[in-house]
C-alpha cells in the first residue's frame, strides 16, 4: 500500500481510510474501514456495481459491515476518485481487486482464515474472478450479480451505448471481450463456496443471471447456496437489505470457521 489518509467522523467504533495502491502500474484508490480494537478481524472485500459515478461505493454499506465487526476493503476501480486509468466494466479493472488481495492478506489486523469477497451487480465480475485466482478467499457472495455480459447487452438497451464504448464494440464484433467478462462460463474454476442472492423482481439484472450460475455450479459439482427473494428488486427494501447483509456475513463466518477452502 502506497498511502492511506484517514477520513474523520465516519463511525464512532471504526476508522475509515482512503488508500492508494498499484494495479498494473496504475495508482488506484479505495476505502479501508477498520473496527476499533486489537483484532484480528474477518475481512470483506466489497466490489461495488455500476460504473464511475453510477453505483459508486456506498459508505452506508461499509458502515453496516464494519459495525458488525468486519474489516472492509472497497476498491473504487481505476479512474475514480483521483485514481489513474479508465474503468472498463469487468475487464482489466478486475485487477484493481486482485492486486489488493496480497496487500490485505498481509495486513496485521486481518484474520487470514476469514477473507471473503462480495460483489454487488456488476461487482460480481471481479468478485468471482478474484475468488478463482486466490485460494485464500474463503467464500464469494454475489448480490443481483451480472454473470453473462452478452445477456446484459441484449436485455439492457439503455446500456448498449456505454458497453460499446467501454468494451470496444458489440458482442458480435468483440465476442472475446464479452466472454472474458462473463463469470458464468468460468464456474468450473471456482473452488470456494458461493452464495447467490437475487431479487426475483430485479428489473436491472434479471434473476436468470443467478439461476444460470447456480445451474453451472451444480453441473460442475461446486458448493453453492442460493437465496431468491420473491418480492425484492435490484435494491432490496431497507429492512430486507439489513437482514440479508447480516445473514450473508453470518454465512461467510460459518464457511470460514469450517475451513472448507
Given this model, what pLDDT does residue 71 score? 98
The CATH class given to the 21-30+38-147+182-258 domain equals: alpha beta
**Is 121 among the residues known to form the active site?**
yes
Q: Which triple of cell numbers denotes residue 145?
A: 450479480
Confidence tier at 250 by pLDDT (50, 70, 90): very high
Taking the CA atoms of the chain, what radius of gyration do you get in angstroms? 17
pTM of the model: 0.96
More confident residue, 51 or 58: 51
Q: Which triple of cell numbers denotes residue 105?
A: 492478506
Using an 8 Å Cβ cutoff, are 84 and 13 in contact? no
Note the pLDDT tens digit of each residue in 155-189: 999 999 999 999 999 999 999 999 999 999 999 99
Q: Which residues of the chain form beta strands (DSSP E)?
A: 3-11, 14-23, 26-35, 41-47, 71-75, 110-120, 139-143, 194-199, 224-229
Residue 14 has pLDDT above 60, yes or no: yes
Given this model, what pLDDT does residue 259 score? 63
Distance (Å, whole) CA 34 – CA 43: 9
Distance (Å, whole) CA 181 – CA 119: 14
Confidence tier at 2 by pLDDT (50, 70, 90): confident
Which residues lie closer than 8 Å to 128 by C-beta, 6 or more apart?
119, 140, 142, 145, 147, 183, 186, 190, 194
Note the pLDDT tens digit of each residue in 99-127: 999 999 999 999 999 999 999 999 999 99
Please identify which of the residues 23, 121, 182, 210 carries the catalytic annotation: 121
Break the chain into its structural domains and give their ranges: 21-30+38-147+182-258
* Region 203-227 average pLDDT: 98
Average pLDDT, the chain: 95
Residue 260 has pLDDT above 60, yes or no: no
Given this model, what pLDDT does residue 115 score? 98
Distance (Å, whole) CA 55 – CA 247: 23
Amino acid at each position: 500500500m502506497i498511502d492511506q489518509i484517514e477520513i474523520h467522523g465516519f463511525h464512532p467504533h471504526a476508522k475509515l481510510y482512503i488508500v492508494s495502491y498499484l494495479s498494473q502500474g496504475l495508482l488506484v484508490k479505495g476505502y479501508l474501514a477498520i473496527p476499533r480494537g486489537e483484532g484480528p478481524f474477518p475481512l470483506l472485500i466489497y466490489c461495488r456495481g455500476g460504473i464511475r459515478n453510477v453505483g459508486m461505493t456506498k459508505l452506508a454499506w461499509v458502515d453496516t459491515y464494519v459495525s458488525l465487526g468486519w474489516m472492509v476493503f472497497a476498491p473504487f476501480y481505476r479512474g475514480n476518485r483521483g485514481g489513474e486509468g479508465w474503468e472498463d466494466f469487468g475487464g482489466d479493472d478486475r485487477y484493481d481487486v486482485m492486486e489488493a488481495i496480497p496487500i490485505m492478506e498481509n495486513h496485521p489486523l486481518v484474520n487470514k482464515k476469514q477473507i471473503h469477497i462480495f460483489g454487488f451487480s456488476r461487482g460480481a465480475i471481479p468478485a468471482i474472478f478474484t475468488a478463482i485466482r486466490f485460494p485464500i478467499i474463503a467464500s464469494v457472495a454475489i448480490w443481483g450479480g451480472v454473470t453473462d455480459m452478452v445477456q446484459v447487452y441484449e436485455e439492457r438497451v439503455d446500456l448498449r451505448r456505454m458497453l460499446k464504448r467501454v468494451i470496444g464494440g458489440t458482442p458480435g464484433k468483440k465476442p472475446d471481450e464479452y466472454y472474458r467478462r462473463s463469470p458464468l462460463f468460468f464456474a468450473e474454476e471456482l473452488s470456494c463456496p458461493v452464495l447467490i442472492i437475487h431479487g426475483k423482481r430485479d428489473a436491472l439484472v434479471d434473476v436468470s443471471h443467478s439461476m444460470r450460475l447456480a445451474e453451472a455450479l451444480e453441473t460442475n459439482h461446486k458448493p453453492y447456496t442460493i437465496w431468491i427473494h420473491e418480492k425484492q428488486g435490484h435494491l432490496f427494501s431497507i429492512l430486507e437489505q439489513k437482514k440479508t447483509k447480516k445473514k450473508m456475513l453470518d454465512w461467510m463466518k460459518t464457511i470460514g470457521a469450517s475451513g472448507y477452502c
